[in-house]
Structure 1
Amino acid sequence: MTGWIDAHHHLWDLGAVHYPWLMAKGVTRFFGNPAPIQRDYLLGGFRTEAAAEGVIASVHIQVGAEDGLAEARWVQSVADANPDWPMAQVVFCDLTAPDLSEQLDRFQSLPTVRGVRQIVGRAPGEDAQTGTNALLDDPRFLSGLQEAGQRGLSFDLQLIPELMEKTARVLAQAPDTPVALCHAGSPHDRSAEGLTAWGKELKHLSRLLHVTCKLSGLGMFEHNWTVASVRPIVETCLAQFGADRVMFGSNFPVDKLYSDYRTLAQAYRGLVPAEMHSAVFRGTADRFYNLEAPQ
């Protein structure tokens, strides 16, 4: 097949944009200790790792900058400086903001912007502190989702399985907003019972045809993952969504904490049936994010 698209990765320049979580020392996050990645991660480093596995284009996902517009403008400058690397971006925008329309106007002045992400859930412990789960009960959030779709923007959804049924009820009211489910819905309980429960909850989202699933971030809740341990997750996503609604994302450099790019890519290459490769590793992301990656 032709080159891959990595539909979920991050970049950061700590001298150009302020990321509070990357500056906080000694703070363990839901995905572990971020200390090894609390340094610049630039496009050149990412390309070296990803291109070696056949990646030719990518989608940058917002990653907790203090100022979402400053981050988006910096990503745009990176894309402008590297025209040989097609890169779209998903920005952070508070969909409940009173000046949402004005904010989206500013974001959409940047040609790489394809969608927005506002995290609904990361992990039970952190969610209890951040209160982001409350977005699902806020009518402004639904209204913002609907406006995003009316503008031709997608929404990247990060949440935990316990929120899927409630979230599906919200998303059903925004059918014109394409949704990308980050990290396969964050199955944080990797016991057999936990994965069974996740698969059951996932059906609430997979039955919504405007929801697409990302195979990404699976190392965040299982640092010593193996091909065998993530196999049921990959198989369940493919079975429920179908290859045309599943796409690959590395979640680098966060998942770089647990794996090198080659190990990650080879694992997915083996887990996804060969007849699904063209969709999962390229076609779905190309279509969803309108990347127009080179052949």
Structure 2
Amino acid sequence: MLPIVDAHHHLWSFAQGRYPWLQHEYDAGKFFLGDYRALCQDFSCAQYRQASEGCNVVATVHVEAERDRGEQVAETAWLHEQHAAHGFPNAVVAHAWLDRPETEERLREHLRYPLVRGIRSKPVTASAPGHSVKGRPGTMQDERWLRGLALLPTLGLSWDLRVPSWHLAEAAEVAAMFPQLAIVLNHHGFAWDRSAEGLKQWRDGMERLAREPNVHVKLSEFGLRDGPWVEADNAVIVRETLAIFGWQRCMFASNFPVAGLRIGYRDLVDAMLRMTAHLAPGQQRAVMADNALRFYRIAP
């Protein structure tokens, strides 16, 4: 069985921290998968192990779980406690606002913890194609936001980029501005619109982003708001992403427990192995494990 490095998952404990989106600010209308009440409970290391039982998961990367923003560093500290007790996660992508006076201070606080490898700080984005927020505070054109982003490579941090497909071309402009910044696109750039027109928009954005050699991509979260998880449809997305970015810059990620709203962990891994079966064995292993080990600097 191939070793698996899960390059993107979440953990949370309501006893240890506050998660507004899961507790008192539930809003299925704003969530990309719709109803997510099944997520509104603890998801622990033990539950992750149970979900991934039978898969050869050798390391994981925890990405910030939108814990209360007053507890950004507390989340990082708690994740280190989980690593000490359970052996994972093996790398942490923390949160810090990039457009605040305290940005550098917060980044340095995270870096007191040895597993921190990167930051995910979502830029302000438009709610739909054709809408524009360009130049507004917190967007990818905001000078304060860009100054904060510029701190990441100087501190040895990567950036987990999460934007919908209609912002991929803008993200490419940012990637070109910071060639020394290691960037990884979350969730395949969200090819939510599977119509011919929607896929063309996604593909054009991905091709533009892939021209920047510092950008990688996570093969993750193929769930759709209004439909089931369909392997044949998702295989098209996976194979096109591999063709655009090359196997050297793609990495498997589960996005559990969120992806569990549509598919089980073992079923997801098995499907991903089938969808990447056209690769040579060493290439498939790189996608399923080695690329994430290298990007997040995890000791094998």
- TM-score when normalising by structure 1: 0.92
Distance change in 2, residues 1:214/1:121 (3 Å): farther
Q: Give the C-alpha shift of residue 25 in structure 1.
A: 6.4
Q: Give the C-alpha shift of residue 225 in structure 1.
A: 2.0
Q: Distance in 2 between matches of 1:15 and 1:7?
A: 26
Is the contact between residue 178 and residue 210 of structure 1 (CA under 8 Å) also seen in structure 2?
A: yes
Is the contact between residue 177 and residue 210 of structure 1 (CA under 8 Å) also seen in structure 2?
A: yes
Residue in 1 that maps onto 2:123: 120
Q: Give the C-alpha shift of residue 97 in structure 1.
A: 1.5
Asked if 1:169 corresponds to 2:185, the answer is no
Residue in 1 that maps onto 2:24: 24
Residue in 1 that maps onto 2:254: 250
Distance change in 2, residues 1:25/1:99 (3 Å): closer
SS at match of 2:99: coil
1:43 to 45, 64, 88: 45
The one-letter code of the counterpart of 2:43 is: Y
Distance change in 2, residues 1:252/1:41 (3 Å): same
Question: 1:132-170 CA deviation, whole Å, 9 max, x = no partner?
Answer: 984212112222222101111000000011111122112
Question: 1:56-86 CA deviation, whole Å, 9 max, x = no partner?
Answer: 1100000111121111111111112223x45
Q: Distance in 1 between matches of 2:156 and 2:175?
A: 16
Is the contact between residue 122 and residue 158 of structure 1 (CA under 8 Å) also seen in structure 2?
A: no
2:198 to 194, 197, 206: 194
Distance change in 2, residues 1:223/1:6 (3 Å): farther
2:152 to 127, 148, 151: 148
Q: Give the C-alpha shift of residue 204 in structure 1.
A: 1.5
1:214 to 215, 218, 222: 218
The one-letter code of the counterpart of 2:51 is: E
Q: Give the C-alpha shift of residue 116 in structure 1.
A: 0.2
Name the stretch that deviates more: 46-55 or 146-155: 46-55
Asked if 1:97 corresponds to 2:100, the answer is yes
Larger helix proportion of the pair: 1
- TM-score when normalising by structure 2: 0.90
Asked if 1:13 corresponds to 2:10, the answer is no
SS at match of 1:97: coil
Flag structure 2 segments of 5+ consecutive residues without an equivalent: none
Q: Distance in 2 between matches of 1:60 and 1:74?
A: 12
Name the stretch that deviates more: 94-103 or 36-45: 94-103
Q: Distance in 2 between matches of 1:185 and 1:247?
A: 13
Work out the percentage of aligned pairs sharing the same amino acid: 33
The one-letter code of the counterpart of 1:112 is: L
Paired residues, number: 289
Question: 1:151-196 CA deviation, whole Å, 9 max, x = no partner?
Answer: 1100000001111112211221111110010001111212222112
Flag structure 1 segments of 5+ consecutive residues without an equivalent: none
Q: Distance in 1 between matches of 2:213 and 2:114?
A: 27
Q: Distance in 1 between matches of 2:26 and 2:92?
A: 29
